[in-house]
Structures are given as structure tokens and as C-alpha cells.
Structure 1
Amino acid sequence: MSDSPKKQHDEDMDDEFVPYVPLKQRRLEKLHQYATQRRVPEPTTQPESDSEDDAPIAGPKANISLLDQSAEVRRQRALEEKTEEQKILEEEKKIEEAQARHKALVSVQEAAAGMQYTEPMKTSWTPPKHIRERSEDDNEAIRNKFHIILEGKDPVPPIKHFADMRFPKPVLDYLRDKKIHKPTPIQIQGLPVALSGRDMIGIAFTGSGKTLAFSLPMLMLALEAELKLPLIRGEGPIGLIICPSRELAQQTFEGLLAMSQYLSKGGFPQLRSLLCMGGINMREQQDALAQGIHMVVATPGRLQDMLKKKQFNLDSCKYLCMDEADRMVDMGFEDDVRNIMSYFKSQRQTLLFSATMPKKIQEFAMSALVQPLIVNVGRAGAANLDVIQEVEYVKQEAKIVYLLECLQKTPPPVLIFAENKNDVDDIHEYLLLKGVEAVAIHGSKTQEEREFAIRSFKSYKKDVLVATDVASKGLDFAEIQHVINFDMPKEIEDYVHRIGRTGRSGKTGIATTFINQNCSEQIRLDLKHLLREAKQRVPPFLEALEDPSEKLGLAGGCSYCGGLGHRIDNCPKLEQQRKQQMNSMIGSRSGGGGGGGDY
């Protein structure tokens, strides 16, 4: 008998019955549930297959509250927070990477063919037996004594005497007559490296004898080639030296001529050299071209022109040196040099020399070298310690009058540097009016005027030479006791090159620099640090300058140009290069154009 409808209804009500829970108890249960959710479960191994009980650990459906998730995110960010120093270093690294020269300094043909030389050049030169048998510890002791740093594989031993370098007697006579009795530190290590056929980067302060360190090995290589098989018309050169300025090329060429004449008088074959630069008539050198040339000293623009016209070729050239190599790249000759390299038909020994070679230029240059040795005498970009640096605050309008007072510090000859051509002309005219025997050179003067000025100044017929930076790179004025910087250059490297015209070959010199508020703060900070490094007196108006890098504890200066008083993010050289790039882009868009190179 079936249950009655009433009884069935009561049973259904029993199934749906929910007992009453007081409000207070419900709140306690909710709080308990919330507290349970806040506990972060310990990490467990993830099962191989997903189960229904798996729950997300982040997001709206996580078993952690959104408040706790937010707190965890803030904690992680706090851990990742970088210091101000780290942020600056990371920013600088980005700038360095953006400025990195990814294009290798090799010829287009070599790059296209994927040609890579793995072994350095070999020469017939070897050091004497007692030097070959010397231990590496003894070699390192000699380097330490002369403050020489040598980097690279298979180091070449240093040699302290010219006689041990196995030069022929006429060369030793030339050195003796030039009163060069013993090699300088860069020559002690640089000459053996170059004579052994190794690629090298040579870095040494101004006036340290770098020119001899690369011109003598080229002379020996050319002499050996001539003795084996004399050159005939259309052959040569054996060696090539590229310089950034005409004056420097002229000076290097004259040194090679003098050494060749000593060899010729000593019974050796006549070695012919060619000077290849703008402003001179190449027809005057047709005799050398007609007989075959052993050595060429050139500026990039005219050299390209001569190679293009097939006046001579580089088929048999085995020796390439770039003097003031970093300045060559800075002055816009990089593509010219790469184009010149495309004329080489085989491997060559490559040498790069300069007083200021920042790390970035070194890394860029390494692409052209094979197992190079880096010979470093002192910090790249450091000032010559034989120069007494005096910095004076002079108002702009008082500079030209104060010059006469500065000229009384030392007897002539004196070299005055100014930043632009108009200032050079004004100073020259002012000194002539005051009865001072002065000459001037700058880029707008004719080659005859420039040569006359240099010649008369070197022969002591004129007491003062007023010049732009064309006279600051590598020129050797043996007896100069005083250099005056009429204005501070925009880059500290130019300052180092300028003051390096005095204090040469171990002599002491004075450099006086006029400075005022027209100079940028970066260059004043660079100068302050350079004076400190050279242990020179720092004037109060420079000492009072606040250095942001010192506050942050950053050391090392600019990684791009090597200046000690600024960082790469406010490097004046980098800013100047960016402006030049922008101007060249605007010029190309507007249809303008211009030739490169020093003619």
C-alpha cells in the first residue's frame, strides 16, 4: 500500500531542510575560510597528469588573495631595483653598442671573399742569440723597468741597444749624428716587434720616438727587397706610411730621405721614396716613379687619387703603417683607408701608432690585424710627464694682450695654438705689429706658405709659430720650450697632442693654457683630471668644479674618447660626430656632395 501524499511531502521537506545558523557563527566561518585561503601552500612536485584538484596560483581564481599577490609583486620589484650606478653603466653600455663599428677595417674584396689571414708575416730578421735565450721573466723585468705593457700571443723580447737590433752601420751612424744614443721605451719594444714582421698597435706619449719605431723597419724591409732583386719601372712600393696631415707626411718623408742617403753613402743601394700629398706637383717626383719606388709616405686623399690613376700599385707592398691612426678615423678617413686597403693583392704587415688611442678604436682596428701585439707605454691619452702644465684664467677680451706677457716666460722658439683660422691670423698680425718675428699656418694657406712657415720656424729664423691643430699631430720641433694654448680645444685629445710639441726626447717644456667660462664644463673637468693624473698643480677655479661621476663613485672616464672628466653619455667627441653625420645626411638629401681626403 502506497504512502499517503502527506507523508511523502514530509519526507521531501526533511531532505531540503537546512538548519538555521546564527549570523555570528556564519561570520566566524567566513573569517576562518578567508584565513585558510591566505596560507600559501608549500610547493609540491607537479604531477605528470593534470587533476581536477589543481588550482591556479596566480590570477583572479588563485588560492592566494589579490592583496597578497600584489604584495608579492611589489616585493619582487624591490629586489630587482637597480642602483643609480648600475642604471648609468647599463645606459652607457647601450650607447657603446650603438656606436660599435661592426664594419671590419679590411678591404671590400677580402670581406666579400671571406679571406682571413691566420698567421703573421715572417721576416728574415732575428734577434741575437743572447736575447733569444733570455727567459720571459727577464724580458718582463725589462718591460717593467721602462713601464712597457705588452699584450698579445707569442711576445717578442725587448732590446735595449740599437746595435743588438742588427741595423747596418750607416743607420747607426745616422742615429749617432742625430744624437739618438739609446732607444726610447716605445722603440725598445716596438722596433723588435716591427722587425720581426708582427702586426702591432703602438701607444706612447707625444715626443717618445714613435716615428723612428715604424720608419726604420720599413727602411730595412725595402733595403732587403732591393738587395734580393732591384726594383724596375712600375714596381713598388715595398712599404707605405699614411699620415692624417701634410706637415706630418712631409716630416716623415724627410726622415726617410736622410736615412736613405746615409745608406747610399755607406755603399748600399739607393732607396727611392715618394711623397704623395696635396699641394705639391707630383711631376717633380717622376724620376722616382720612373725607376720604381721603395717607400711611399702619403695623405689618404692624394694616395687614393694616385692609385686610381694607376701611377703606381700596391701589388708588392708588404708593409702598411698608419701614423696617428685614431685621428685618421676621427677625421673621416675611415672609408678612404678601407678603400686604399682594397688595392693590396696579398697579406701585409700592419702597424697603427698614436699617442691617444681609445679602447673603442683599438677594438675596431684589431679587425685589420693578424695576431697583433699591443705595445703600450703609459695610459693611452695621458699627457707627457716632461711637460709642466700651467692653466690660467684669462678673460676672452684680455687674451691677445696677455700673450706678450706669456712669451716672456721662456726664450724662443714658442708655438701658439688657436682653435680657428681667424684667431690665428689675428694673433699673427698682432705679434708682427709688436715686432715679434712670427709665422702662421692653417688649412686655408697655400702649400708654399705652409712649407715656408715650418721651414723658417725649424731653422730658427722665426721665433714664434701660430697654428691651428694642423701643427699639433706628430710634428717634431726639437728645441721648443714653450707651447701656448690661446684657447682650450674642444677635445682633451687635441690638448694632449698640442702640449706634446714641447718636452720631447726627454727634455722639459712648459705649456700655458688660457681658459675661461667660454670653455664647456666637460672639457674643464677633463683638464682637471688630466692635471691630477700628471701630478700637476690644479688651479682653484678647476678644483672647485663638481664632478658628478665622483659623487656616484664611477671611475675610468669616457670609454669612447678616453677623457677622464666625463662619461660616454655626454662625450663632446661623440656629439660632434653625430652632428657631422646629421649634416652629411642633410647634404646628401639636398643633392650636395663633397670629396674626402687631404689634398
Structure 2
Amino acid sequence: MSAPGQKRRRYTRSPSPTYKLDEEDDSYEPYIPVAKRREAKLAKLSSYGASAQKDKAKLAKEAEEEREDEELEEERRREKTRKERTLLVEAQEVHSRKNAEDAQKTEAEKADEADAQILAAIASRKKLASDMELAKGIEYTETLKTTWRPPKHVRERTDEQNAKIREKHHIIVDGEDIAPPIDSFADMKIPVPLLKFLKTKRITEPTPIQLQGLTVAFSGRDMIGIAFTGSGKTLAFCLPLIMLALEDEVKLPFTRGEGPVGVILCPSRELASQTYENILQWTEALASSGDYPRLNTLLCMGGISMGEQSHVLNKGLHIIVATPGRLIDMLEKKKFNFDSCKYMCMDEADRMVDLGFEEDVRNIMSFFKRQRQTLLFSATMPRKIQDFAQQSLVRPVLVNVGRAGAANLDVLQVVEYVKQEAKMVYLLECLQKTAPPVIIFSDNKNEVDDIQEYLLLKGIEAVAIHGSKSQEERQYAIKSFKSGAKDVMVASGVASKGLDFNDIQHVIIFSMPKEIEDYVHQIGRTGRSGKTGIATTFVNMNTPEQTLLDLKYLLMEAGQKVPPFLQTIEDPRAAQGGSLKGCPVCGGLGHGISNCPKLEDAQRRTMASHRSSQDVGGGY
């Protein structure tokens, strides 16, 4: 309270502001966008001259930033719109575009695209090298050096002269710095005792694969050798290893625990045994002359006792001929090692990979402690295997005599339509075409036994060989047939790969194999080493049409007579307007990769192995 007698001051309140809400008020100013206000201000400042340049630049920068912000906002808006679209809408648009593109393609183009996708899928496997090399990223870029050199007059030849020699012998080569072809064993600097021995076997001059293949192998190069059956491939890869081992033994003799210098891998026991016997003959011819040391060779395969070869293991070891399974077993038991091994050859290399030996080969390679010279030889090596080998070898040289998978031109191919129930009777007629020895092929083991029993009942001396027989039975069959004690050998595919039988004039294919590669190997048991032979093949309604088409093209390629019933078979690819190129998996000329029987069998085996592994793993 205020004191008595004192006047109270009166406070007055300020008036409240008034707002005009009438939109029609004349004082209302319309909104002007920021960009336009800046432009107006910029125009106003431009009249001030040089003093306002700084402000003008600032405003220009702000205008540029404003434009970028607007573009960014627009991009965000579009992105939001894209995200709001459903996956179904996008899938429908992609599907409609694909349908539009497919409508413009021919059936042939679609088939080619499908084949390319399948080939790309099966080609994506790791290269042929040991796990250690793959893990450490070890990659060799230089080839092995050797002391061998061609004679002076050969070195002085021009590239054109070398090309003429290759063209004369139908040799196709591919690679860098390829050794020149030499058409004389003497000019290859092969030891005289070995030359004399080869003459006793009527081998006086090199065959086309030897003419070029030997010089490539002598020079230390990795090599892919392809030539028709009976062309002398065994000598082309065994002789360089013998010379290499001979050179090392002369420098410093091997003692117990040392070696081998090289190894030769074979897909079957029969082929390994045959290669081993050839090497024994050639090394014995060198040692018996007294001018060269004796080389020790070991045969390493299943079905034989390794104890019988303990005398070889107790010495220095130079050469091993082996099948993959037994070789891995001996390496793991440390009966010998590959510390000084520098040469590896795979005979029938495409079969080594296709028969499921690929992982075994990688396992064997893991025992090598150094770079090695690698050679792959076969009569049938499809493009898929060639590409695989090219990326696995070091600067490889491809030596190809004729088309890979082509039939031997020295074999007269006769294809006859014979009903299933008439085959046995007609077989006896076919046996009258030529004098023995004769080989009869069938892929069915039971049929092999039935044919042998039928021939024995008819008084014909016959033996049988297939995978279910014991090693002793198989060795007896081959030995008695080679010696002439038996006139006929009935065999499954096990005898068709690389085996060399003397003076066989006639091969009868009782049941046509599904894969044309097997047919090429089977007819190749005759017409060997420049001789001629006959191959008679039985076909009927049970033979798949695709197999018959492969056979038709093979006959046409070899200039053979095509029977009328084969001529009537049309290629469905021709109706589609597609290219009639061969299958890159099996080399068959009558189908593409999508219809390849070899690929189907491989997929079937893979699925079967998966099922068996699941069954084993699921039990207690």
C-alpha cells in the first residue's frame, strides 16, 4: 500500500495492434520467388559498375547452387518413384523385352546361345595344377631348358621351308617358337643302337606325329599331341623320356632312393602294361649295346604284386609307367618320391579327365617339388579338353595330325543294318571276310561273355576281356591273342583305348557305342602303322538316331561309302538353318553340346555320386 497522503500514479495500457485480414487490401504485396528477387537485385547492382563485381559473382554462385539443389531434389523424386515400383512390374517389363528380342532371333541363334551357355558352365573348372601351386599362386612362365639342339642344316631352314614340310604331312601346329620338323631319326640325334632296333621292327622313318612331336618334346616344351589311332604316338612321348633319363644317368648314376626322372600315366591297366613293355624293349636295346647304361623302369598298376618288382625299387629309378590309383598309393607310402621328377605324360589324356581321374591327377601333381614338362596325347581330344589343357600348360605347343576325333583313313568302314536277333548268325559270316586275328567289340559285359560262349560252341578259338574279369584273366586273354594262340578276342571298351595288336585286319563292332569317340578308338585297332584294315559295324533300330547321324558325318568326312539307310537320316540343325559345327565336348559332328551323350553320362555319374554320398552320410 502507498503511504497516507501520497497520490497513486495512474498507469495507462498501450493500445493493441490491429490486423487487416481483408485480402482486397491495397497494401498486400504478392510473393516473389527467391530466384527472381536475386535476378532483380543482380540487375540493379549491374548498374553500379566495377565496384559491384564481387557482389555480382556472389549472387551468380548462389544462383548456381540454387539450380543444383533443384536438380538434386528432382533426382530424389525420381529415385523415390523408382523404389515405389513393384518387382512384379519390373519382371513383366524384362520378360516382355526378352520376348521381343527372342522373336527376332532364329531357332539356330537360340540353339547357339544355349550351347554357349552350357559350354561356359562346364569350362569354369580350375586349371590342372597341384593344390599347393593353386593355393600359393605359383605360375610358371618359362619352359624347361634342355641340351638338345637340331642339326645345323635343320636350324638354317626358313619358316617357309618348315611350313611346306608340315603341309606335306598334314601337320597343324599352334604355339610360340615351335621346333622345326625333322623327317629322319638320325637327324634327331637318336642313339645308333636304338636306330638299329627300330629298323628290326620295320620303323625306318618317323610318322607325322613323330616328325614334329619328337622335336617339340626334345626341346623341353609342354605339348598337346593329337593324331589318329596307330600313328606312333607311344614312341613320340616315350623316346624323349628315355633320352632325358639317359642324360641324367650318364652325368651322375642313380642310387637307391633316387628318381624317377619321369612318369607316364595311362587310364587302363592294359595300356600301362603295353607301354611298359615297349619301354623295356627300347631301353634293353640301348643297354645291350654296351655303350649306354641300363635304365630302370617300374610298372605301377593295380592287379599286380609290387613285391615282384622290389629289385627295381632297390635301385635308382628312372621311369615309371602307372595307372593313377596305384601310383598315389605308392607315393603316399613313400616307396619313392617325385623330388627330382621333371617329366609327366598322360596317354589318352581326354579319357584320363573324362573317366574321373582329374582329381587323382591333381593329387599326383602335388607330389612334384619342381616345374615339370607336361605332355598330353590322344587320338580324340575335343575342343573342351584342348582349351582346358591350354590354360594348364606352360606355353604349350599343339601338334595336330588331321582333325581331332577323325577316323583313321587306312581303315575301310563298312556299316550294315542287322536286326538284333540276327546278329549272332551274321557274325559268323563276317568272320569269313578276313583271316584271323579279329577283334569283336561290345559295350555290354554280359553280351561279351555271350558272344565268346557262342563262338566257342561253333569251334572258334576266342577269348574275352572286360572290366569285371580279374587281372590274371585279362592278361591271359591279351597274351594268348597277341601270340596267335587265339584267333578272336571279344572285348568291351577297355581294349579299345591305345592297345596295339599286330596284323589285325578286321574289327567287328557288334553293338555301336553311343559316343562316337569310342567308335573311333575301336575301329582304330586295325589299320595301324600304315597298314590297311576293315571295320564292320552292326546297327539297327536300337541304335539312337543321333549316334547314326554322328556316324554318317564321320563316314562322309573320311570319304567312305554311306549306306542308303544312313543317307535318309536328316540333321535337325539343318532345318533350323544352324551351323553344322561339331560338339566341343565329344567331337561328334552330328549334334551340338545340348544333345551330347557324353555330357549326359557325366551328369548322370555326378548325380549318382551325390546320392551315394548322401545315403552313406545319413546313417548311423
TM surpasses 0.5: yes
1:390-469 matches, within 5 Å, as: 390-469=414-493
Q: Which residue in 1 is equivalent to 2:243?
A: 220
Q: Which residue in 2 is equivalent to 1:29?
A: none
Please give the alpha-carbon distance, in whole angstroms, between the structure 1 residues aligned to 2:508 and 2:231.
21
Please give the alpha-carbon distance, in whole angstroms, between the structure 2 residues aligned to 1:480 and 1:536.
20
Paired residue type of 1:195: F
SS of the equivalent of 1:478 reads: coil
Give 1:368 shift.
2.6
Please give the alpha-carbon distance, in whole angstroms, between the structure 2 residues aligned to 1:271 and 1:547.
54
Asked whether the equivalents of residues 324 and 352 of structure 1 are also in contact (C-alpha less than 8 Å), the reply is yes
Please give the alpha-carbon distance, in whole angstroms, between the structure 1 residues aligned to 2:484 and 2:98.
75
Paired residue type of 1:164: D
Q: Which residue in 2 is equivalent to 1:578?
A: 603
Paired residue type of 1:82: K
Please give the alpha-carbon distance, in whole angstroms, between the structure 1 residues aligned to 2:411 and 2:98.
57
Asked whether the equivalents of residues 191 and 217 of structure 1 are also in contact (C-alpha less than 8 Å), the reply is yes
Q: Which residue in 2 is equivalent to 1:35?
A: none
Please give the alpha-carbon distance, in whole angstroms, between the structure 1 residues aligned to 2:509 and 2:97.
57
Give 1:74 shift.
9.4
Q: Which of 403, 418, 425 is the matching residue for 1:379? A: 403
Q: Which of 123, 130, 133 is the matching residue for 1:100? A: 123
Paired residue type of 2:537: T
Asked whether the equivalents of residues 580 and 590 of structure 2 are also in contact (C-alpha less than 8 Å), the reply is no
Paired residue type of 2:411: V
Note closer, same or farther for the CA distance 1:592–1:181 as it changes in structure 2 (3 Å cut).
farther
Q: Which of 381, 384, 393 is the matching residue for 1:360? A: 384
1:282-297 matches, within 5 Å, as: 282-297=306-321
Map Cα deviations across residues 536-558 of structure 1 (whole Å, 9 max, x no partner).
Answer: 11111111111111222322121
Unaligned 5+ runs, structure 2: 1-66, 73-77, 82-92
Please give the alpha-carbon distance, in whole angstroms, between the structure 2 residues aligned to 1:450 and 1:78.
59
1:83 is the counterpart of 2:74: no
Note closer, same or farther for the CA distance 1:396–1:293 as it changes in structure 2 (3 Å cut).
same
Please give the alpha-carbon distance, in whole angstroms, between the structure 2 residues aligned to 1:302 and 1:79.
53
Please give the alpha-carbon distance, in whole angstroms, between the structure 1 residues aligned to 2:370 and 2:422.
58
Asked whether the equivalents of residues 101 and 364 of structure 1 are also in contact (C-alpha less than 8 Å), the reply is no
Map Cα deviations across residues 389-408 of structure 1 (whole Å, 9 max, x no partner).
Answer: 00011111111111100000
Note closer, same or farther for the CA distance 1:79–1:254 as it changes in structure 2 (3 Å cut).
closer
Q: Which residue in 2 is equivalent to 1:557?
A: 582
Give 1:76 shift.
12
Unaligned 5+ runs, structure 1: 1-46, 60-69, 594-599
Q: Which residue in 2 is equivalent to 1:174?
A: 197
Please give the alpha-carbon distance, in whole angstroms, between the structure 2 residues aligned to 1:545 and 1:229.
64
Give 1:102 shift.
2.2
SS of the equivalent of 1:332 reads: helix
Please give the alpha-carbon distance, in whole angstroms, between the structure 2 residues aligned to 1:174 and 1:346.
34
Q: Which residue in 2 is equivalent to 1:306?
A: 330
Asked whether the equivalents of residues 561 and 573 of structure 1 are also in contact (C-alpha less than 8 Å), the reply is yes
Q: Which residue in 2 is equivalent to 1:471?
A: 495
SS of the equivalent of 1:475 reads: coil
Give 1:490 shift.
1.4
The count of aligned residue pairs is 532
SS of the equivalent of 2:298 reads: strand
1:164 is the counterpart of 2:187: yes
1:200-349 matches, within 5 Å, as: 200-267=223-290, 268-349=292-373
Give 1:80 shift.
7.7
Give 1:256 shift.
0.4
1:583-594 matches, within 5 Å, as: 583-591=608-616
1:529 is the counterpart of 2:553: yes
Please give the alpha-carbon distance, in whole angstroms, between the structure 2 residues aligned to 1:79 and 1:204.
42
- Fraction of identical pairs, as percent: 65
Give 1:367 shift.
3.0
Q: Which residue in 1 is equivalent to 2:530?
A: 506
Q: Which residue in 1 is equivalent to 2:518?
A: 494
Q: Which residue in 1 is equivalent to 2:9?
A: none
Please give the alpha-carbon distance, in whole angstroms, between the structure 2 residues aligned to 1:181 and 1:290.
36
Give 1:421 shift.
1.1
Paired residue type of 1:200: M
Paired residue type of 1:225: D
Greater radius of gyration (CA) = 2
CA RMSD of aligned residues (A): 2.2
Note closer, same or farther for the CA distance 1:74–1:451 as it changes in structure 2 (3 Å cut).
closer
Give 1:89 shift.
0.9
Please give the alpha-carbon distance, in whole angstroms, between the structure 1 residues aligned to 2:320 and 2:125.
30
Note closer, same or farther for the CA distance 1:592–1:471 as it changes in structure 2 (3 Å cut).
farther
- Which is worse superposed, 384-393 or 537-546? 537-546
- Which is worse superposed, 554-563 or 326-335? 554-563
Note closer, same or farther for the CA distance 1:281–1:74 as it changes in structure 2 (3 Å cut).
closer
Paired residue type of 2:251: K
Paired residue type of 1:388: L
Give 1:443 shift.
1.0
